[in-house]
Amino acid sequence: MLKWKNYRAEVKKRVGDLRQFAPEAFKGYLALATSGEKAAHIDGKTRELISLAVAVTTRCDGCIAGHVEAALAQGATREEIGEALGVAIAMNAGAALVYSARAMDCVDEMSSPA
């Protein structure tokens, strides 16, 4: 499918490049993206599993790569990620099934040693 680690690095670079053209939009995005870190009732792993399920339903490869990386860093297991993707499939049927396959491909590559 994709070389997810390379893709993630390229997305991060390109997003960094875009920052210079729309600094206020980027600042607003960062405020939204980091607002969940201040949540009092949902832990980081749960937030990342939800985010990954949403990434699949919105068909965003960059989001999949970022949230797989973050979910793994928060201690999510392959099985927990698979169950979260099951929720996305239930909510978004066929498209989520295909993107869940992509997300699991990303999990396999991101969780393997460099």
What pLDDT was estimated at residue 37?
80
**Confidence (pTM):** 0.79
Nearest C-alpha neighbor of 68 from the set 37, 99, 41: 99
Q: Give per-residue pLDDT as tens, 51-79.
A: 999 999 999 999 999 999 999 999 999 99
Using a 10 angstrom Cβ sphere, with 0-12 exposed, 13-18 middle and 19 or more buried, the burial of residue 27 is: exposed
What is the SS3 assignment for 58?
coil
H helix intervals, the chain: 4-19, 23-35, 44-57, 61-73, 78-110
Q: Give per-residue pLDDT as tens, 16-46.
A: 888 999 999 999 988 988 887 877 899 999 9
What pLDDT was estimated at residue 49?
97
Distances (CA, A) of 60 to 64, 108, 114: 6, 18, 24
What CATH number did the domain enclosing 58 receive? 1.20.1290.10
Number of domains in the chain: 1
Range of the domain at 17: 4-110
DSSP 41: S
What pLDDT was estimated at residue 6?
95
